[in-house]
Amino acid sequence: MKGSKPRRALQVSTVMKIIVAIFFFVVGWKLGAPSGPITYPLASTNVPTATKMILKMATPQPAEATEVPKELTTKHKAEKIEDDDEIQAAPGQEETPKESVNPNAKYAIMYGRPEALMCPLESTFDYLQIPLKHLPRKKRTSVREKYNRRAHNCAANGIWNKVTANDHYIILEGMQRMAKMKSGAYVFDWGTGCGEKLKFLTEKFNISGFGIDVSDLTIRYAQVNTTKRNHYCVADGTKMEWIPSNYFDHSISFGSVYHVYNRTMFCHVLREMVRITVPGGSVYNGWTENGEYKREHVEPCLGDLPVEIKIFEEREVFPLTKLDHFPLKAQQDTPNTYSLVVFKHKPTTPEHFKHFPISCTTHKCVKV
């Protein structure tokens, strides 16, 4: 009984402390609650990069953006897009309207010009298989796997065997001259690899651009290590409906389109490159030989479009004496490849792509 009063006093004191604590908590919350968006300490050096990006994505952003952070464009996880196991011959294709995107894919915003260009998130692209006859080891390999294995060379001379970075620069000077690319142009690069073509064009000629490739590792290198004025994404170059028509000043590709290993699809890619190029611009495709796409098949492929076609023999237009190694096809001692330059005179419309003009077999292409 002697200890009951102190014990009761202690209990009352504890209750009062709890009540006072709750009171100050409520009052403090009411007075100190933020009235606008929460500002997170993104600049703190103690916050991991991934955490910074999560916080930034959680913070309301301005309606207009000028550049996508590298962390958002370096590596995107995406749900697998189901595709046929083999590349199918392209049927007559209706053009996608400028404001349209593929509703069946997930997209990340890539900022080009003048509006945001919606770039499809990557898939595995393992359905783009290299025919076994082109593989000395006869081991099933996709185009993506082949160039992912070579991606570690991006920091050296690139993913071409024996061809040096200096060789590529000399070739690009010839490409710029043939395609009549001028300062300030915006260029699409099909099969951009490590991004070095666009980097060189930017530094040498003040030309910027947008490159695609199926190799996620080379694209990652391009995004991190090349000129910030250029943008890159992992994408299937045979499916370019997400790119608006009459959009780029020029479209280029060197030693890449033949990787579709299908002549009908080769023609389809050329036509798509014409579609996305503005009137007055040009399409350049280099390092092709007859075994991949015959010179005489170019006109039937593109002849129904408002274009002018020129074919240049690469042993004549490139200064071979200045090159350490000009890229040669297998079992060749001298170049037997050609450069195709297509000058577009008028805008293309959906009507131009409702009918696909040719059908190709292993040995020939015929008009349809």
Predicted local distance difference test score (pLDDT) of residue 48: 35
Partners of 116 in the β-ladder: 111
- Per-residue pLDDT, averaged over 191-213, amounts to 96
> 45 in a domain, yes or no?
no
Q: Using one digit for the tens of pLDDT, what is the confidence trace for 314-346?
A: 999 999 889 999 999 887 888 999 999 999 999
Q: Is the dihedral of CA 227, 230, 234, 237 positive or negative?
A: negative
- State both tokens at 91: 């049927």
Rounded to the nearest 5 percent, the helix, strand and coil shares of the chain are 35, 20, 45
Please check whether residue 123 lies inside any domain of the structure.
Answer: yes
Closest CA to 114 of 94, 98, 101, 97: 98
The pLDDT of residue 123: 64
Residue 236: CB atoms within 10 Å: 21
What CATH number is associated with residue 324?
3.40.50.150
Averaged pLDDT for residues 293-297: 95
Instruction: Specify the pLDDT at position 90.
Output: 39
Please report whether residue 164 resides in a domain.
Answer: yes
pLDDT value at residue 3: 47
Task: Please list, residue by residue across 91-105, b when 16 or more beta carbons sit within 10 angstroms of its beta carbon and e when fewer do.
Answer: eebebbeeeebeeee
70 pLDDT exceeds 80?
A: no
Is residue 40, in this structure, part of any structural domain at all?
A: no
How would residue 25 be classed by pLDDT, with cut points 50, 70 and 90? low
Q: How confident is the model at residue 15 (pLDDT cuts 50, 70, 90)?
A: low
Cα gap 258→104, rounded to integer Å = 27
How far lies 107's CA from each of 76, 116, 123, 235, in Å? 10, 11, 12, 11
Q: Are 235 and 119 in contact (CB under 8 A)?
A: yes
- What is the Cα–Cα distance from 190 to 277, expressed in whole angstroms? 12
255-265 residues labelled b (16+ CB within 10 A) or e (exposed):
bbbbbbbbbbb
Do 357 and 338 form a contact (C-beta atoms < 8 A)? no
- Domain-located, residue 63: no
Quote the domain boundaries for residue 210: 77-367
Mean residue pLDDT across the chain: 76
> Does residue 253 carry a pLDDT above 80?
yes
Residue 157 in any domain: the answer is: yes
Q: In this structure, is residue 15 part of a structural domain? A: no
* N-term to C-term CA, the chain: 110
| Structure confidence at residue 147 as a pLDDT band (50, 70, 90) | very high
What's the pLDDT at 299?
96
pLDDT band with cut points at 50, 70 and 90 for residue 283: very high
Run of H or E residues at 204? helix 196-205
Give the total number of structural domains in the chain.
1
Q: Looking at residue 122, what is its pLDDT?
A: 64
Average pLDDT estimate for 5-32: 56
CA distance 262 to 249: 27
> Residue 107 is inside which H or E element, if any?
strand 107-111
Q: Which of 19-28, 141-150, 259-268 has the lowest mean pLDDT?
A: 19-28
**215: in domain:** yes
